[in-house]
Amino acid sequence: MNLAVLILLGVIFATIPLIQSSFGHGVGGETLPPIVIDDKNATLSLFINPPTYDPKTGEYEILLKLYETNTQAVIPHVTYLVQMSHDGKQLLNERFHDDSSNLSIKVVPKNTDSIKIDGSNYGEIGWSSNIISPLK
């Protein structure tokens, strides 16, 4: 019995240096803890659809939703600061506004150094979707 315990402990200690660090978020979505905004508890949810990039479709959607934690009611007229980076390089740092607080951004990755945003730019308020087409 003692020999089996010693072997098990030896195997555990021998494999510890082989374990690699892993970092990640929720699969396809993340809901942050509530914060207080104007005396209300507000929760931010972020979803990505599909959760993993599918080269067949060539695009994915990012959905941001800010809502009152206790009632689940959306908080209207929200301006989000959206930052995206890849391999430590910042790709995007822009403001996006949505009247209903359900911001949907369609992302179409391309191998280019520039980023094109289809929508209307309202300066300090940020980018917003057009009546005819969604924000992308």
Chain segment 5-64, per-residue pLDDT in tens = 566 555 555 555 555 554 555 567 888 899 998 888 999 998 988 877 777 777 888 888
Q: Average pLDDT of the chain?
A: 78
Domains with residue ranges and CATH for the chain: 27-128 (2.60.40)
Altogether, the residues listed in the chain come to a count of 136
| CA distance readout (Å), 60 to 39, 47, 51, 53, 56 | 35, 10, 8, 7, 11
CA distance 119 to 108: 14
Which comes out higher in pLDDT, residue 71 or 107? 71
CA distance 31 to 45: 4
Q: In this predicted structure, what is the pLDDT of residue 96? A: 86
